[in-house]
Amino acid sequence: MAAKTKTIKTDYLARIEGEAAFKVVVRDGAVRSAEFKVFEPPRFFEALLRGRAFGEAPDITSRICGICPIAYQMSAVHAIEAALGVTVGGPLRELRRLIYCGEWIESHTLHVYLLHAPDFLGFDSAIHMARAHGETVKRGLALKKVGNDIVNLLGGREIHPINVRVGGFYRVPRRREFAPLAEALKRVRDIALDTVRWTSKLDFPDLERDYEYVSLRHPDEYPFNEGRIVSTGGIDIAASEYAQHFEEVHVKRSTALQSRIVGRGAYLTGPLARYSLNFDRLPPAARQAAKEAGLGPVCTNPYRSIVVRAVETLYAVDEALRIIADYQEPDRPAVALEPRAGIGCAATEAPRGMLWHRYRLEADGSIAEARIVPPTSQNQPSIEGDLRACVESSLDLDDEALRLRCEQTIRNHDPCISCSTHFLRLEIDRGQGA
């Protein structure tokens, strides 16, 4: 006789950005199997890039994700510049860090205030939370808007930013154009600092995980666009060596590929990894805020990722102010480029984790081959491990409470597959007579 299976389904018809399913089998009070499945758009974009001129890559790849288009543009331009043997420095490099600050502020603030905080405070959705905590949500909206303003000024527009190009930008702002932005950033800095304090007071489930963290690490900076790929397990490589140390495995149950460290397995990218591998690269103000929020130099409780995001947001506000204060208008908006045959790789730090691109160019500059490894596929095995741990420690909950706890667990890492309140289909098989 078949074991009794209880299925809980949530409505996922209306969303197309991403959704997820989690199937867990429980026998005798123990988790026998746990399968986390993500529906990602197929790798349409890698095929779309083939045969296109290299200059089209930033515009095409920015369309992959509505939440982090800048990350896709940044990984694309750096990888193609590597293939062309070009380095972009000076004010153009600074402007690239600035636009990345904007995307971190946007994405992290959305994640902290509207996706993750309602879980901690026991609200069904951000809307319900806003009815009870209107002023708090308003502060979050004001902080996020400054991130939008940075991306709009440098990216040219909100949807599918178009101003980023291989070699630099199509147009760079004059110094005076930054004045209103600098004022807005100064106004929201207190909100950013207060966000760190506010998140630190939330009630965090006890869970410490033994992740292998992977992120960029730069000699002087908290990483956005540059650095070596390092891990808590001893990896220390250039982006061009990524494919020798990390592999993607096709999992039958998912349209997404899952990444793992060759010979070892699951790893984690994103705020927890960046922070834990680069704490000493944060400026004193951000380090102090982290300390006051109860964070040590390493954080292994995934639920505290909400505090780490707040610390990174504070850093992004301060870094944006620094870049604007020091900004010197460049002589030209982009460096000159000559097409040539070559291979180039780059990794940059998208808000939710490391994003790796590789391009092979023909002599005429057309793209012969493109490979894109997004954070979602890299983190998927670790998220599955978190879910297993979460279910094992919460078997006394009923199915609905368990589903909510699982959603919160996924939201520790990924806003993109969790951008709707009830995105998870949980299928729990507790065995006959359960």
The answer to whether residue 18 forms part of the interface with other proteins (CB under 8 A) is yes
Taking CB under 8 A as the rule, does residue 420 contact other proteins?
A: yes
CB 18 within 8 A of CB 38: yes
* Interface with other proteins, residue 422, by CB under 8 A: no
Token pair in block for residue 200: 């630190």
Only one of the segments 125-133, 207-215, 316-324, 329-337 lies at the binding site for other proteins (rule: CB under 8 A); that segment is 125-133
The two structure tokens encoding residue 201:
């007071």
The distance of closest approach from Cβ of residue 421 to other proteins in the complex, given in angstroms and rounded to an integer, is 8
The residues, any chain, with a CB within 8 Å of residue 188's CB and separated by 6 or more, are 142, 143, 146, 317
Q: Is 111 in the site for other proteins (CB under 8 A)?
A: no
Q: Give the count of residues interacting with other proteins (CB under 8 A).
A: 42
Q: Which of 5, 10, 17, 205 binds other proteins (CB under 8 A)?
A: 17
Q: Does 175 bind other proteins (CB under 8 A)?
A: no
10 interacts with other proteins by CB under 8 A:
no
Among residue numbers 52 through 91, which ones bind other proteins (CB under 8 A)?
63, 66-67
Binding to other proteins, residues 332-391 (CB under 8 A): none
Q: Does residue 141 interact with other proteins by CB under 8 A?
A: yes
> Quick check: 102 binds other proteins (CB under 8 A)?
no
Q: Which residues in the 181-210 window bind other proteins by CB under 8 A?
A: 184
Is 158 an interacting residue with respect to other proteins (CB under 8 A)? yes
Out of 6, 50, 138, 174, the residue judged to bind other proteins by CB under 8 A: 138
Structure tokens at 304: 């505290």
* CA 55 distance to own-chain centroid: 25
Can residue 14 be called a binding residue for other proteins (CB under 8 A)?
yes
Residues in Cβ contact with 412 at an 8 Å cutoff, skipping those fewer than 6 apart? 116, 302, 303, 305, 306, 386
φ and ψ at residue 324, rounded to 5 degrees: -65, -40
Among 4, 15, 201, 332, binds other proteins (CB under 8 A): 15
| Beta strands at 424-429 and 19-27: parallel, antiparallel or unpaired | parallel
Q: Is 177 in the site for other proteins (CB under 8 A)?
A: no
Indicate which single residue of 74, 76, 79, 115 sits in contact with other proteins (rule: CB under 8 A). 115
170 binds other proteins (CB under 8 A): no
CB-based contact 53:365 (threshold 8 Å):
yes
Which position among 144, 189, 304, 411 is part of the footprint of other proteins (CB under 8 A)? Answer: 144
Residue 110 tokens read as 């959305």
Phi then psi dihedrals of residue 353, to 5 deg: 150, 180
Stretch that binds other proteins, among 39-47, 84-92, 200-208, 328-336 (CB under 8 A): 39-47
- Residue 130 binding other proteins, by CB under 8 A: yes
Residue with tokens 């793992």: 260
> Contact region for other proteins (CB under 8 A) — 131-139, 205-213, 227-235, 378-386?
131-139
Residues that bind other proteins in the complex, under the rule CB under 8 A = 11, 13-18, 41-42, 44-45, 48, 63, 66-67, 109-110, 114-115, 125-127, 130-131, 134, 137-138, 140-141, 144-145, 148-149, 157-160, 180, 184, 419-420, 423
